[in-house]
């Protein structure tokens, strides 16, 4: 199996192209190949597949073997891969995802390579049951959640995958390892949840750290950055366009008033290429 190691702001993936469909053993492969000690090492295993609805289809297996509905950093990597490897010569393409449908992608090309990727992430889902949470409400904003004697206030957003955004005093130094896994598996979230801890520093900039469902702490999360902006706007804390600063770097996120869609702009990088025997 030939692969390309890529990352979006340090959120890294093993990218595989050329398969006609998702392999039956994709879950087992993700568990072994994503292992950072006994495998290649990555946050996820990404397949670029044919699509009947779009130019390409993206399927993502988390490092724990579960499948993710969507991933903002992965879709930027996929877009860069297909352009840089001449699978398309178009600077505007569409990519089918499992949980967020078909998404439109615009590439900024420099020297024949995709330098930046702008993704139409679609409209955020705010209904509590649709996200899903167990809360029957049109919007879940600053809702209390208790875990091990500590109460947080969270705002729930789906970007094709569920997010729980929590405001904290200092996201950069927050104890992610302690609270992330407990909140991920809280009974309020029937399909578990991605957890973002955010600190609003101005109306145009937010610090965020993430505990990703199925992957744990990662350096960046594109859908999490989108959810963080939505939560900040719903609480009146930021404008509808802001820089979300993650551990691996910055993403520019815009919640458009004209179409209600979220637009994410950021980089993607190739790290190296290789092959795995016997796969």
Structure tokens at 195: 């957890």
Instruction: Annotate the chain with DSSP letters as a single string.
Output: -EEEEEEETTEEEEEEE--SS--TTHHHHHHHHT-TTTSS--SEEEEEE--SSSSEEEEEEETTSPEES--HHHHHHHHHHHHHTTS---SEEEEEETTTEEEEEEEEEETTEEEEEEEE--PPB--TTTTT-S--SS---SEEEEETTEEEEEEEEESSSEEEEEE-S-STT--HHHHHHHHHT-TT-TT--EEEEEEEEETTEEEEEEEETTTEEES--HHHHHHHHHHHHHTT-S-SEEEEEETTEEEEEEE-TTT--EEEEE--EEEEEEE-TT-
71 is catalytic: yes
Of 57, 71, 164, 226, the catalytic one is: 71
221 is catalytic: yes
Of 57, 77, 164, 221, the catalytic one is: 221
State the catalytic residues: 71, 221
């Amino acid at each position: 199996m030939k692969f390309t190691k890529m990352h979006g702001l340090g959120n890294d993936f093993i990218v595989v192209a050329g398969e006609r469909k998702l392999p039956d053993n994709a879950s087992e492969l993700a568990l072994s190949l994503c292992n950072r000690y006994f495998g290649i090492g990555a946050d996820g295993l990404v397949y670029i597949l044919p699509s009947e609805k779009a130019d390409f289809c993206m399927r993502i297996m988390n490092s724990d073997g579960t499948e993710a509905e969507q991933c903002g950093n992965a879709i930027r990597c996929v877009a860069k891969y297909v352009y840089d490897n001449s699978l398309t010569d178009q600077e505007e393409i569409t990519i089918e995802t499992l949980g967020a449908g078909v998404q439109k992608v615009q590439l900024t090309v420099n020297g024949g390579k995709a330098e930046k990727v702008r993704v139409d992430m679609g409209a955020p889902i705010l209904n509590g049951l649709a996200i899903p949470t167990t809360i029957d409400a049109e919007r879940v904003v600053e809702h209390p959640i208790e875990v091990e004697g500590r109460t947080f206030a969270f705002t729930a957003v789906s970007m094709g995958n569920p997010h729980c955004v929590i405001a904290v005093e200092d996201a950069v130094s927050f104890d992610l390892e302690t609270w992330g896994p407990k909140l991920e598996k809280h009974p309020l979230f029937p399909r578990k949840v991605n957890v973002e801890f955010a600190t609003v520093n101005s109306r145009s900039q937010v610090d965020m750290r993430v505990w990703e469902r199925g992957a744990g702490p990662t350096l960046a999360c594109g859908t999490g950055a989108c959810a963080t902006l939505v939560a900040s706007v719903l609480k009146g804390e930021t404008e509808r366009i802001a820089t979300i600063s993650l551990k691996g770097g910055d993403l520019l996120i815009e919640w458009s008033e004209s179409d209600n869609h979220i637009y994410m702009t950021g980089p993607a990088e190739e790290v190296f290429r290789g092959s795995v025997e016997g796969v």
